[in-house]
Structure 1
Amino acid sequence: MSGRRSLKPLSLDMDREVPRFGVCDIESYKWTQFRVCGLGWKTYDDDGKETGRRYENFFTMEEFCEFLFSNEFPYNTVFAHFGGVFDFSFALKEYFESYEKFFLGEMIPRGSGLLCFDVSTFRKVDRVNESVKESDVLGRDPEGWYMIRDRKITFRDSAAMLPFGLASLTDNFKVEHKKKDIDFDTFEKVTDEMMEYLQYDVWGLYEVLEKYFSWDLIKGSGSAFTVASQALRVFRTYLKKPISSINPIADDFVRSSYFGGRTEVFKPFFQQCDDNLIMRSYDVNSLYPAVMREFDYPGSFHFETKLYIEDRPGFYDVDIEVPEMYIPPLGVRFKGIGNRLIFPTGRFRGVWSTVELNYARSLGCKVLKVHKGMVFRNGGFIFKDYIENLYARRKAAEKYSVEDVLCKLLMNSLYGRFGLNLLREMLEFDCGQMGVIPHMEIQSAIHDSVNEGGRW
């Protein structure tokens, strides 16, 4: 962890509010030709008791996008499953072209899609008074008017929390509305079968999310909107004392030793010399959770050194000599071929942890020179309670149940959260000339023309 703040313990609080939200889903023909959008949500009284449910169909994106900001829709969060790679494209196009009424705000990319994005309605004023929050000042238009936010709605991809297909989710979570099967070639026109299929998708996801947010560890720790962030919140409920952060210089140094897994293609060879000789293939059960349970981890930064200290947790910039072997142990980034991760033999330089270097030395590798080392205090078995509790709960749970799925997901998702890149990528639109429609197009059943600028 980098920065000045430490990671502090968090108390389980079962009185935390469960998020209120809507769920949308879009059906299209051949991916780009919009047909219909469904939106579902529930209503509650002041005591949190459900008072009803409501479902609406929309046959144009304009109707859907405007309805969300009406008084009829009470919430400020809308989920779509894998919406970041599909459904959000339709909404973004509509909101972008309606720039006089809507303001597109923060967008967080995720792979080739979006994790979430914000859209706001606004009013224009010639001056900003003191009662307006700074965060509600969206900017100024070309004529110099201030744009002041009236209401904000956030679109979120629920697959960031539950990275599974909707069919398996509705089945494993045992909800009322299970995903139906349908022939997508029939989507050229809106049919009763399509409408029923859409409604089941909307309510199926809604019911899954209800169970997800109401699960005791998620409700008690407070909800987050990615599985890694949720795992971190749950983990904090098992912390007995804060975990110290490290300064940016130490963080940069340690991070230079942080790689992904190795992906070389190994060519196994086995020659049956006699009938008693057999080949065994091994797999580690729950590798990340097993490592988190069985090993201690570095704590706070202690000191710098130019000596290699094998019995203290640390990270070292060293010259190393690796003898010829079939599977060399130490990885380095090789900038000559696209910054790829390679595992060479011979003499080279890199940054590795004491765990990696001690293992390499056991295979005959030699540390030739220490350019810089950072030694840390022993932080102890900080993940042990978290993993043991979740593993016990999963072992006692019915296979593929909510408990089984979520315990496995939380165990496997925490480790990488500690290596999260602090430089977060952001997206924003370059609106260019006001009044000029962007060169993008998503076909709809009502308007089926193509912009001259090409397709998006």
Structure 2
Amino acid sequence: MLIILQWAVGLGTVIKKNMKKQTILNNLAMKSSATVASSPDIFLTNKGFSEISFKVANYAVTGRGLLVAIINDLYEVLKSLNKGNKYVIITRFEYADGSVKSLHNSVRVALNDLFVSLFFHFLIDVLSLKSNNYSLESSPIVKITFNFIWLNDTNKIPDHKWQDLNRSFALSSEVILMKIGNYNLSLPANNRYPTWRSTVTESDTALVVRVENIQKQHVLLVWNKETNIIELSGFAHTFVDNLQTDGHLRRTFSDGTIFYIKDGKIVLKTKAIKTSFMKPLEVPKDKEGNELPVGLFNGATLDIETVLKAGKHVPYLFSFYDGANRYSFFENEGKNLFKTMLNSRYRGRTVYAHNLSRFDIIFLFKTIGSLLNEGYKISVLKKEDKIISITIVKGKNTCLVLKDSLLLLPSSLDKLAKNFKLEVGKLVEPVYTGVGNEEYKSDSLEHYSKAIERIEDFTEWKNKIQVYCEQDCIALYDILHSFHHLVKCKWNIDITNYSTIPSLAFAIYRMHHMPEDTIPLTKGKVFDFLKQSYTGGSTEMYKPNAIDKTLYCYDVNSLYPAVMSRSLYPCGNMFQYEGDISILENYWIGETKVETKKDLYQPFLQIHHKTKSGMRTVAPNGKFSMVINSEEALNAKNSGHYSIDLANSKGYYFEKQESLFYNYVSEMYALRKEYPKSDPMNLIAKLLLNSLYGRFGMAPQTVESSFMKGDDLTTLAAKEGIKVDYQEVDKDLFFVEVDDGKIKGSQNVSLSLASAVTAHARVFMSQFKNNPNYNLYYTDTDSIFIDKPLSDAWVNDELGFMKLEYKLKDAVV
């Protein structure tokens, strides 16, 4: 049913002044100035509406106080006119841009002792029904004008019949103000629609209530009994009321805003926000739908040898291996290395160096940057202080991609060679100690913490160091080739497409375990808010002195995978909320006030706290506000150590909770149990098991890194709205980092999941704090040092149980 409300012309429209005015006599202005706080502009006319205008700048008060002051002044001026006590008035707001808006249609008012109170409340109710554009607090109003007509003394209508200011349902004790988008709506806090005033028409399918609004205009309320949908004429959104079993009235508007009402008050307000979901990674298939296998390993490796001169590493040997051919160059810049690698036969190859981002890249930067002069375009992906990858492009062709294999396999090359069962692994490093050829000798050998072979004969040494460097390349290649083969056969994924072990784990999860349209993406303001709840593990020292004591040091077996496997996680559509979130059973992350019991010895709710030396993670005592996960809040409240004000919380809640990681964790843990520790698949499963959760909380990247020349840097630095940092690589060559505040690439993250994982882990570890069964000396993310052994029920080799790592006697922790 289409309902149309007959609002009068002019309501909420912009009016241009176009009326003939006659200035009131000066003696009248002088007469009124004795009682009026601010001299108004007064224009009288015998035909049509006269006008009184009050400049907002002349008043020291704002908001409702301003309205009261101006109405008081209006009352005094109208009395001084001696035109009787019956008026017809229109109120208008004038704005800084010169536009004028009418607040209401003409209303009849009686100039008596109730005028100021009734007219004030009338205008407040009018404003409550309008958008925030009319707000006294937020809009730039410069003048409030009253247009009026007076009736002569021959009018014998009684005051109470002349008065239009008697409010209808907007004065009810049950009326509540509801903000719907940019609009304010006052409605009764019940679903007894026939009591909302005036005429009722009812049938089997509908109820129509004719209501007088605060301007004595008729508003039709139509209740469709079949759909339970309610329409209010003149208001854009419909709503539905449902009385819940817990006594709350749930009022849902068509724009997604929901109010939970009880005892005449709004207990909780929620609003659905537009939610996008993380997309699964599709399994590659041919036209017939058959799964396409991943191709051969398209990688290569490089290594660099250096000597230590005056505390600084100086390169002298660069080696490269493509899986069949090995190349070595005794030089100090790597120019011949890149000349070889940029040969067209290696086009599109991914070249790995073990510890590229922290070591090898230092010696390659200058040579890489100089490729600008040869027409190459260099794209650098840098995350915090790590170079993730460097892509070298010429024209439309990707010539080379450099990556750090340590970010994929975070272990030493020597250990990896053993894990992957190489016949020949890392060799003993030959070190030149002879006479002459000083450029190949370190100032000292004290920096070596491993076994070395001292060689005095330069020729012998040179041959051996070349073999040593090339063998490092061969060993790394063989490891990566085996890694590629195992991952390809198990999950049909190409490791060269991923730069880090978390990104590889993320790809496996998305391709084989992630449900569709379930995991919400968190961006912008939502990400920034949720970030406050993502505080990681807890590390605390309570008793450093354990002399004459025995300490039992326990670690949790894979804490994060354990809680990922056992817990339910927030997912589905997201909703913003404000109020008592405890009336819902949904998972939420919100800001709330917290108070510990007095002098809590081992507080366990932690926050990020800004100090002079930067941000610190602390678990405070006393009263404070924090952004917290619902599971952690419930755990703290049930512990008896905290009181948490959930009635005045604000944040985000989620449509549902699901076990999102059980299958992924189960698969990886089963692989660890299936293969012995000596098998590379055991190591791969271990790395993948522990590396997934953090990828969901990856911070957005706003910094772009590149090489450029001095003139380009000068031009860039002069631009507004960007932050520039740089380091000089060579003459007229700079490595530049530009932060323009704009997110680079897709923000494919769900911080709510990462935050929830760490929250569940902290909940698990909190049971060892303030525990009367033992003294807790030290704890970190997944370990405890206590002075008594745990019961056997806690200790087990399975996922999520404790294992005894050490027994310490007479320790200082």
Fold-level match, TM-score > 0.5? yes
Aligned residue among 473, 478, 503 for 1:229: 503
Amino acid at match of 1:167: D
Structure 2 SS opposite 1:99 = helix
Q: 1:21 touches 1:41 (CA, 8 Å); kept in 2?
A: yes
In the alignment, the residues of structure 2 paired with residue 174 and residue 116 of structure 1 have an alpha-carbon distance, to the nearest angstrom, of 28
Distance in 1 between residues matched to 2:552 and 2:359, nearest whole Å: 44
Question: What residue in structure 1 maps to residue 58 of structure 2?
Answer: none
Instruction: Tell me which residue corresponds to 1:403.
Output: 681
* Contact kept? 1:330, 1:344, Cα under 8 Å: yes
Instruction: Give the secondary-structure state (helix, strand or coil) at the position aligned to 1:339.
Output: strand
Aligned to 1:292: 564
TM-score (norm 1): 0.80
Q: Distance in 1 between matches of 2:296 and 2:702?
A: 27
Give 2:473's aligned residue. Answer: 202
CA distance 1:325–1:98, shift in 2 (3 Å): same
Determine helix, strand or coil for the equivalent of 2:672.
helix
Partner residue of 2:693? 415
SS in 1 for 2:705: coil
Among 314, 319, 326, the alignment partner of 1:33 is: 314
Determine if contact 2:589/2:630 at 8 Å carries over to the other structure. Answer: yes
| Mapping of residues 362-373 of structure 1, within 5 Å | 362-363=638-639, 364-368=641-645, 370-373=648-651
Query: Are residues 1:335 and 2:583 paired?
Result: no
Say which of 364, 367, 373 aligns to 1:91: 364
Structure number with the bigger relative contact order (C-alpha 8 A, sep ≥ 6) is: 1
Determine if contact 1:9/1:240 at 8 Å carries over to the other structure.
no
Cα distance in structure 2, aligned partners of 1:292 and 1:266: 28
After TM superposition, give the deviation of residue 307 of structure 1 in Å.
0.9
Q: 1:171 to 1:38 in 2, by over 3 A?
A: same
Aligned equivalents of 2:360, 2:552: Cα separation in 1: 47
Residue 380 of structure 1 is matched in structure 2 by 658
Q: Structure 1: which 5+ runs fail to align?
A: 43-52, 122-147, 442-450
Which protein is bigger by CA-based radius of gyration?
Answer: 2
Q: Distance in 2 between matches of 1:242 and 1:19?
A: 33
CA distance in 2: counterparts of 1:165 and 1:109, whole angstroms: 22
The amino acid across from 1:370 in the alignment is N
Moved more, 97-106 or 201-210: 97-106
Structure 1 range deviating more: 255-264 or 2-11: 2-11
* Partners of 2:347 and 2:400 within 8 A in 1: no
Work out whether residues 349 and 399 of structure 2, in 8 Å CA contact, stay in contact via their aligned partners in 1.
Answer: yes
Output the CA distance in 2 between the equivalents of 1:246 and 1:102. Answer: 39
Q: Distance in 1 between matches of 2:628 and 2:692?
A: 22
Moved more, 403-412 or 307-316: 307-316
Aligned-partner Cα distance in 1 for 2:411–2:476: 11
Aligned counterpart in structure 1 of residue 325 of structure 2, from 54, 57, 63: 54
- 1:432 matched residue in structure 2: 710
Q: Which runs of 4+ in 1 moved over 6 A?
A: 269-273
Distance, in Å, in 2 between the alignment partners of 1:405 and 1:167 is 14
Matches within 5 A, 1:182-331: 182-184=429-431, 187-188=440-441, 191-216=462-487, 220-223=492-495, 224-236=498-510, 237-246=512-521, 248=523, 249-267=525-543, 280-303=552-575, 304-309=577-582, 311-323=585-597, 324-331=599-606
| Residue identity in the other structure for 1:171 | K
- Structure 2 gaps of 5+ residues are 1-273, 285-290, 434-439, 442-457, 713-726, 734-813
1:9–1:174 distance in 2 versus 1, CA, 3 Å: same
**Greater share of residues in strand:** 2
Provide the C-alpha distance between the structure 2 equivalents of 1:440 and 1:298, rounded to a whole number of angstroms: 47
Would the aligned equivalents of 2:278 and 2:516 in 1 still touch at CA under 8 Å? no
Of stretches 381-390 and 256-265 in structure 1, the one that deviates more from structure 2 is 256-265
- Deviation per residue, 1:173-210 (Å, 9 max, x gap): 01233011225465536611101111110000000000
For residues 95 and 243 of structure 1, the distance between their equivalents in structure 2, rounded to whole angstroms, comes to 43
SS in 1 for 2:581: coil
* In structure 1, C-alpha distance between the alignment counterparts of 2:543 and 2:352, rounded to whole Å: 45
C-alpha RMSD over aligned residues: 3.0
* Contact 1:95/1:102 (<8 A) preserved: no
Change over 3 Å in CA distance of 1:169–1:316 after alignment to 2: same
Amino acid at match of 1:161: L
- Kindly report which structure 2 residues correspond to 1:16-165, keeping only aligned pairs within 5 A, or say none: 16-30=294-308, 32-42=313-323, 53-60=324-331, 61-121=334-394, 148=395, 151-165=398-412
- Counterpart CA distance in 2 for 1:247 and 1:289 is 22
Q: CA deviation at 1:366?
A: 1.0
**Counterpart in the other structure of 2:425:** 178
Q: Give the letter for the 2:589 counterpart.
A: F
Structure 1 letter corresponding to 2:364? A
Superposition TM-score, scaled by structure 2 size:
0.46
Task: Write the letter of the residue equivalent to 2:389.
Answer: C
Q: Distance in 2 between matches of 1:241 and 1:100?
A: 47
Bigger CA drift: 256-265 or 19-28?
Answer: 256-265
What displacement does 1:211 show?
Answer: 0.8
User: Percent same amino acid among aligned pairs?
Assistant: 24
Cα distance 1:400–1:306, how it changes in 2: closer, same or farther (>3 A)?
A: farther
Cα distance in 1 for partners of 2:684, 2:428 equals 25
Give 1:161 deviation, angstroms.
0.5
C-alpha displacement of 1:439: 4.7
Aligned-partner Cα distance in 2 for 1:333–1:119 = 39
In structure 2, give the amino acid aligned to 1:26: I
- 1:21-65 CA-to-partner distances (Å, cap 9, x unmatched) read 2111111212632221111113xxxxxxxxxx1111122311111
Tell me, yes or no, if the aligned pair for 1:85 and 1:113 is still in contact at 8 Å: yes
Deviation at 1:251, TM superposition (A): 3.0
The AA in structure 1 aligned to 2:500 is T
Counterpart contact for 2:275–2:573, Cα < 8 Å: no
Residue identity matched to 2:643? K
Residue 166 to residue 424, structure 1, CA distance change in 2 (3 Å) = farther
Give the letter for the 1:77 counterpart. Answer: T
CA distance 1:314–1:23, change in 2 (3 Å): same
Distance 2:485 2:354 in 1: 18
Q: Which residue identity does 2:696 align to in structure 1?
A: F
Counterparts of 1:3 and 1:17, CA distance in 2: 36
Check whether the contact 1:246–1:300 (CA below 8 A) recurs between aligned residues: no
Count residues with an aligned counterpart. 401
Counterpart residue type for residue 335 of structure 2:
E
Check conservation: 1:22, 1:79, Cα contact below 8 A. Answer: yes
Q: Deviations over 1:280-305 (max 9, x none)?
A: 44321111111111111111234324
The alignment status of 1:352 with 2:628, answered yes or no, reads yes
Question: Which whole-Å CA distance do the structure 2 matches of 1:58 and 1:73 have between them?
Answer: 18
Q: Is the 8 A contact 1:108 1:425 kept in 2?
A: no
